[in-house]
Amino acid sequence: MVVASQFTAQGLDVLADAITQAAFDPAELSREIEVVCEEIKRSLDSPARKLSKELFAAAYTRHPYGKPVIGTEESVRSFTRDGILRFYRRWYRPENCVVVAVGDVREAEILELAQRHFAWPGGGFEPATERSGEPPRSRPRGRIVREKLKEGYLSIAWPAPCCSIRTSPRSMRSPSSSGMGTARDSSAP
């Protein structure tokens, strides 16, 4: 959300209301399902999107990262208002919320507003479950998707140590920049 700094409080109020009081109108949900299914179909025309989808599916066999963020047409068409509400109550929780503000704002004001506006009313949260880790690998994984294209697309990934959201920001820098000593604040020698 982008607002002039003098409207920060009003902007956070509107955003918090949309997040904490989401209604999930059935008619709007039905329309949005059709919109998302069209987006999924369009993504099938993009070799780069297909490559990314296959890479994540091969790299993450258990974790949700291995599934398309937008879902599949089958999964999206299976959405119901009750199912979305269950998902919402399970994951859209105060302890999972991160508020980031950039620009002409005061930290103390943002913290106070976030604590006031993002205190979810009514409780009723389902307990969050831990996600299972990936199994150890004894050999590389790979996928080849054959299509009639004029060029080939290749992507490579490898596992890196896990970090928690509570890890200090300094240790969450880009591994390529800090590990190679190219980041401005890199601690590499």
> Tens of pLDDT along the chain (189 residues)?
899 999 999 999 998 888 888 889 999 999 999 999 999 999 888 899 999 999 999 988 888 889 998 999 999 999 999 999 999 888 887 777 888 899 999 999 988 998 888 776 555 555 556 767 788 888 888 888 888 888 888 898 887 776 554 444 444 444 443 344 344 443 443
Q: How many helices (H) and strands (E) does the chain have?
A: 7, 0
CA dist 181 to 51, 156, 173, 175, 188, Å?
30, 22, 11, 10, 5
Q: Which of 84, 110, 112, 95 is nearest to 1 (CA)?
A: 110
Backbone torsions φ then ψ of 17, nearest 5 degrees:
-60, -45
Task: Tell me if 47 sits within 8 A of 149, measured CB to CB.
Answer: yes
d(CA 85, CA 25): 11
Count of alpha carbons within 13 angstroms of residue 110, beta-carbon side: 11
Q: What does the pLDDT read at residue 123?
A: 54
pTM beyond 0.85: no
For residue 128 the two structure tokens come to: 């969050």
d(CA 160, CA 175): 9
Task: Tell me if 94 sits within 8 A of 23, measured CB to CB.
Answer: no
Q: What does the pLDDT read at residue 134?
A: 80
Task: Tell me if 3 sits within 8 A of 13, measured CB to CB.
Answer: no
Burial of 53 (0-12, 13-18, 19+ CB in 10 A): buried
